[in-house]
Structure 1
Amino acid sequence: MHTVGIVLHPLRDSSEAVTAIVDWAAGRGAQVLGVEEEIRRLGCAALPVPAAELGGRSDLIVSLGGDGTMLRAMRLADGGHAPVLGVNLGRLGFLAEVDVPDLPDALSAIDQHLYTVEPRLAVDAEVHGETVTAFNDVAVVRVPGHGIAAVSLLVGGRPFVSYAADAVVVATPTGSTAYSFSAGGPIVSPSVEALLVTPAAPHSAFNRGLVLSVQDALALDVLPTSGRLAVEVDGRVSGYVEPGACVILHPRPAAAHVVRLGRTTFYERAQRKLRLMGSAEVEPAPARPRDGRSTPS
């Protein structure tokens, strides 16, 4: 491994992690690259490069932050060969693999090829002739004061189902634990290649989510009865659509690759993050004496 690219959280203190990476690289003659506007504030020894060049010039990209930073790092890695290692700064996320104290050992393991990668699905959305990419989700969301989101889902060019809702979320398996989950969608393993369509606060008679193949041609038609909608890409507003507009969706399997060192599984991370074991407490059965009669409470 000759070049390590770093992506920083915009607010959290990442100086300790950056120092660990720079020191590890210096001991092995490797170069550290960083997005120029991010690393200037640290004054570190990383070489500043434009964000668009980071993925193509790195052998590994290290994301320092939470899941939002990791999604940004995956977008920068999209189309390149560099896998992405998530380093947790603060709250436990779904995508981070190691904490800061474990970073030097993790880099050494990757340098020795003692790791695996998880391919992650992306979805490209065509809006007004422009293409935006999400690794979590693309959502069409009602704008306050402009009415509900009335949307028809097209599969293979033909209308399949219509929703009236506060939003319609199209999520990847990576995004199944984000907006889609909060709207009632299922948890889906990242190894599954599928897209989830989940209505948020549906007002229509049909209020169920869907799981669709990445081989299906998908689009969202904004119906005449809809209000103006915001198009959110990984939680950020990318633009707006009016009734009559169409958002065309193109899933791309293996658009980015996430480093795994075998320390935890997806299910263990989901269990901890979502507190699944404590989600349905069951009262213990009352003790029974040997004669079979219940013990009075």
Structure 2
Amino acid sequence: MLADEFGREVSGVRVSLTDRCNFDCVYCHNEGLGDTRGPMDPQDDEMTADEVVRFLEVVEEFGVEKVKFTGGEPMLRQDLEEIIRRTPDSMEVSMTTNGTFLPGRAEGLVDAGLERVNVSQDAMDPEEFAAVTKSGAYDRVMEGVQAALDAGLDPVKLNMVVFEKTAGYVPEMVEHVAENPGLQLQLIEYMPELTGKAEWAIDIDRVHNWLAEQAVEIEHREMHDRKRYWIGGTADDDGGMVEIVDPVENPTFCANCHRVRVTHDGYLKGCLNRNDDLKSMGEMTRDEIRETFRETVAQRVPFYGEYMVREGDGEWELNDEYVELAD
């Protein structure tokens, strides 16, 4: 398994299959790009199934154990089941989706090898959901979550981005997962550096503190230095699990990152927050992929604490030492 100069082994990859999405979430930097009429063959700028599989077969040689398929909305790819079926057997396969295409496809995805799924859900009310996602698909998402559970994707983890427009819905979402076995909740800190509108950010510590007051049990995970809060029960008796993903201005989070990313158009990148470290895998030959993967891992740096550092005034600023990586 390859490791960067900070000792962070790369054990997982996140592969974007498309930047198209049938939602237009107000916090998303892609803003519902592209043709979203429904599942279709890969578009001209998207990796083919062969290219995705070739990449996964190569990184398996380096001990990569997990792959998560993302988008945009990955289920806009008609060949998603084929890609999952052809993913190396040694890899755990998961997916992040908005859930609208899970009805009718969830069972086939499980048969192909899908093991876990995250479904984006930012509110429990159709009108509030529509205000955030610019979509009238609330009922379809709820059907998708149930389809995933019926197909055996248990637990289903609900993703909720926490910012000014959704923070008030957190208690209701927590209650929802606590009352429904098979559901878990992942609260994701809003990242203004990706989307702009810094005024939408909230103090995520307030959410941590509130959950700590509600929790029966609190678990610490090494990965990204995350905390899990068990509400209404414990891990041993199916209590509702709520986890916070809080990367913003968090050196500890970045110091425990073990993933690299692949863009929909075939570029490797060492960090979600950066686009100055993109490396093309060329025409996707295996040797090119090996070389590019080695370079990407070798040049990975924790975004907060190394790439970005705090100055005397407490502000985060670019560390000049790493500017050369963009050249």
**With structure 2 as the length reference, what TM-score do the two structures score?**
0.25
More helix as a share of residues: 2
More strand as a share of residues: 1
Structure of larger gyration radius: 1
**With structure 1 as the length reference, what TM-score do the two structures score?**
0.27
